[in-house]
Amino acid sequence: MAFLDKLLGKKKKPVLKAKCPITKESIEEGFGFMLTTAQVVASKKYWDMVMTEPETMSYTVSHFKNQPSGTQMRNMIFEKYSSIDKPWMISDSCINLFEQIDRNSARENAKKWWANEGSYNPENSGPALVALDPSTYQSLKDYAVLEAGRSRVILH
């Protein structure tokens, strides 16, 4: 068997990689911040950014012009992000979007994720609707869908 291992080459375990879902930048092993989906959707700064990105700005403008199609798309965007089951590995350059989180515990959770080869999930992981009480979830959804990005939109 050792001969075959040498001949075929031993299989190396895959290298664990993390990428910030916001910037798509790689996160070096041992770094980053791990947030739950509930923590991510609780950030108004995050929603202001998401709803005013080039690919979503037209929906935001439509929404603030009282066009139902824009509001529907913003609702779908919220549903997409709030239903993410896995925790988020956030880069150092994006952590400022999440003012309400405890950075030390988010850093510790990231370290546990690295130490457990990507199989660690912090408490309250899972979709935001499951992790949050219904009224909190609804108020976060209301902000994201109805208000996010208002200050960045110029209506003529």
What does the DSSP assignment read for 73-124?
HHHHHHHHHHT--SPEEE-TTTGGG-TTS-HHHHHHHHHHHHHTTT----TT
Q: Is residue 67 scored above 90 in pLDDT?
A: yes
Answer yes or no: is 4 within a domain: no
The token duo for 132 is 């949050």
> How much is the pLDDT for 154?
78
Q: How many domains does the chain have?
A: 1
> How much is the pLDDT for 29?
93
- Mean pLDDT in the chain? 92
| 44 band by pLDDT with thresholds 50, 70 and 90 | very high
Q: Is residue 4 scored above 60 in pLDDT?
A: no
Q: Is residue 61 scored above 60 in pLDDT?
A: yes
Phi, psi torsion values for 72, nearest 5 degrees = -60, -45
Answer yes or no: is 5 within a domain: no
The token duo for 133 is 């009480």
Q: Is residue 153 scored above 90 in pLDDT?
A: no
Answer yes or no: is 122 within a domain: yes
Answer yes or no: is 55 within a domain: yes
Phi, psi torsion values for 33, nearest 5 degrees = -130, 135
pTM, rounded to two decimals: 0.88
> How much is the pLDDT for 15?
80
Q: Is residue 135 scored above 60 in pLDDT?
A: yes
60 lies in which domain range?
23-150
Phi, psi torsion values for 49, nearest 5 degrees = -70, -50
Contacts of 121 (CB under 8 A, 6+ apart): 86, 87
